[in-house]
């Protein structure tokens, strides 16, 4: 069994992003600083933190080359400036298809070096009257799960809709923390957001940190918010309902170890994917 190497503080930044990348990043900068002042050693930004456009195709126009561009530079600079891990919920990365991007969750270490890239595997589709979404029209899916090593243990990356697919996280083995940057709709958020996050924490016996978009955006879209940190027993440690701000909490290595010792469900698994 892999136990957490130590306790550490994390933060989820909640935003209500618009269609101006520079303005969005400028509003996020003090929120990262606030999280670091509160003791965070890892800061997670939500899905679409840099751009919530009026149209789905706006992300394609703002796509960056892998390794360069304003959003990637911001993430690297923020991590280095504050000497913390910074994970950007998603950055649109160019592909060979001029009409689609990769939605990439990017993790940077305290030196500003990129240590992981995860491309969103599961693409959201939803239809309820006038509210309709189909990410496959503008996003090319990734094809594998990703985690990265930290001083405190292994951390799993994912993006929003991925949280509905438990096999993604199980494929990574034991981790201390799952990151879920998101932009949940209000109808799906009210019905499933907390339920899904707590379920992923309970079944993987680890913490889950979810950074959300939360409010009414300039494009007229409403997002659910409720960024939160969930512990390995499924308890909500901290939460923010709506509006820009931070959720800060402690990843307690003792909690993870106690849960896995008292209820060794991970060791009891009998049916595994081939």
What the chain holds in terms of domains, given with CATH numbers, is 8-262 (3.60.110.10)
Catalytic residues: 47, 120, 160
pLDDT of residue 167: 97
- Mean pLDDT of all residues in 63-90: 98
Indicate the pLDDT class of residue 90, thresholds 50, 70 and 90: very high
The answer to which of 5-9, 86-90, 129-133, 192-196 has the lowest mean pLDDT is 129-133
| pLDDT score of 274 more than 70 | no
When the pLDDT of each residue in the chain is averaged and rounded to a whole number, the result is 95
119, 145, 226 from 214: Cα distances, Å = 23, 26, 7
pLDDT in tens, 237-247: 999 999 999 99
- Mean pLDDT of all residues in 100-121: 98
Question: Do 60 and 226 touch, CB atoms closer than 8 A?
Answer: no
| pLDDT score of 94 more than 70 | yes
pLDDT of residue 273: 64
Which DSSP string corresponds to 38-79?
A: TT-SEEEPPTTSS---SSTTHHHHT-B-TT-SHHHHHHHHHH
More confident residue, 180 or 274: 180
d(CA 14, CA 246) in angstroms, rounded, equals 6
pLDDT of residue 272: 77
Q: What count of other Cβ atoms lies within 10 Å of the Cβ of residue 70?
A: 14
| pLDDT score of 166 more than 80 | yes
Indicate the pLDDT class of residue 5, thresholds 50, 70 and 90: low
- Mean pLDDT of all residues in 175-180: 98
pLDDT of residue 131: 72
Q: pTM of the entire structure?
A: 0.96
- Mean pLDDT of all residues in 150-176: 97
């Amino acid at each position: 069994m892999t136990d957490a190497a130590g306790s550490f503080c994390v933060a989820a930044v909640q935003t209500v992003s618009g269609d101006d990348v520079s303005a969005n990043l400028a509003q996020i900068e003090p929120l990262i600083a606030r999280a670091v002042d509160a003791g965070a050693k890892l800061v997670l930004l939500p899905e679409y933190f840099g751009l919530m456009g009026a149209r789905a195709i706006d992300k394609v126009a703002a796509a960056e080359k892998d390794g360069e561009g304003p959003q990637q530079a911001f993430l690297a600079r923020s991590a280095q400036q504050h000497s913390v891990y910074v994970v950007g919920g998603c950055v649109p990365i160019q592909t060979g298809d001029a009409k689609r991007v990769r939605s990439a969750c990017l993790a940077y270490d305290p030196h500003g070096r990129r240590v992981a890239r995860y491309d969103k595997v599961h693409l959201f589709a939803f239809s309820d009257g006038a509210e309709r979404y189909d990410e496959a029209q503008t996003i090319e899916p990734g094809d594998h799960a990703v985690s990265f090593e930290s001083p405190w243990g292994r951390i799993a990356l994912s993006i929003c809709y991925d949280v509905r697919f438990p096999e993604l996280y199980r494929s990574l083995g034991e981790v201390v923390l799952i990151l879920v940057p998101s932009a949940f709709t209000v109808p799906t958020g009210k019905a499933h957001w907390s339920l899904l996050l707590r379920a992923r924490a309970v079944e993987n016996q680890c913490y889950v940190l979810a950074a959300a978009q939360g409010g009414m955006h300039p494009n007229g879209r409403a997002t659910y918010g409720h960024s939160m940190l969930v512990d390995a027993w499924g308890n909500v440690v901290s939460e923010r309902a709506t509006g820009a701000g931070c959720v800060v909490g402690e990843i307690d290595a003792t909690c993870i170890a106690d849960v896995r010792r008292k209820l060794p469900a991970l060791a009891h698994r009998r049916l595994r994917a081939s």
